[in-house]
Structure 1
Amino acid sequence: MGGLQHYRMSMDPAIQKLGTMTTNRHKYFRWTPRTARITFMYAVFVPAVFAFMAYQTDGKYDMRAKRKGDLVSEY
């Protein structure tokens, strides 16, 4: 059948601009106090908190072979 090709969508300029911006984001990145703070939080602070919690509770809980009424914590 002839006529329009209905499977094609018209390109939205806003979606094209968003795609271009996402693709080229590394070209326009700058270290600012805000980005440095966010990077520090995700790269250093959050893993340090999880590591501290893991070391504090290491060996404290035993989940294997527990029966009804047994305590989960070892000390």
Structure 2
Amino acid sequence: MAGLQHYRMAMDPAIQKLGTMTTNRHKYFRWTPRSAGLTFVYAIAVPFVVGVIAYQTDGKYEFRAKRKGDLISEY
């Protein structure tokens, strides 16, 4: 038992392949209709919707100095 190296593990080929694929993903990226649509949704549509909601509710809610039974909406 003293001569065995228990700290060494056999490398799993699937894990090595996943690591290589993750590292080189930018080399093989292509714009497809799906990737373009997802990029539009996450880069433009979601921030726009969040901004519109934030602009419409700006100053509407006040959370400071409220007691039990008080409304948080100011108008």
* Structure 1 residue runs without a partner (length 5+): none
| 1:23 corresponds to | 23
Residue by residue over 1:18-44, the C-alpha shift from the partner in whole angstroms, topping out at 9 and shown as x without a partner, is 000000000000011100000111100
List structure 1 runs of 4+ shifted beyond 6 angstroms: none
| 2:71 corresponds to | 71
Normalised to the residue count of structure 1, the TM-score between the two structures is: 0.93
Identity over aligned pairs, percent? 79
- Match of 2:59, as an amino acid? G
Superposition CA RMSD, Å = 1.2
In structure 2, distance between residues paired with 1:23 and 1:60: 46
- Match of 2:68, as an amino acid? K
Q: How does 1:1-75 map to 2 (within 5 A)?
A: 2-75=2-75
Q: How many residues align?
A: 75
In structure 1, distance between residues paired with 2:52 and 2:73: 18
- Match of 1:74, as an amino acid? E
In structure 2, distance between residues paired with 1:15 and 1:5: 22
Normalised to the residue count of structure 2, the TM-score between the two structures is: 0.93
* Structure 2 residue runs without a partner (length 5+): none
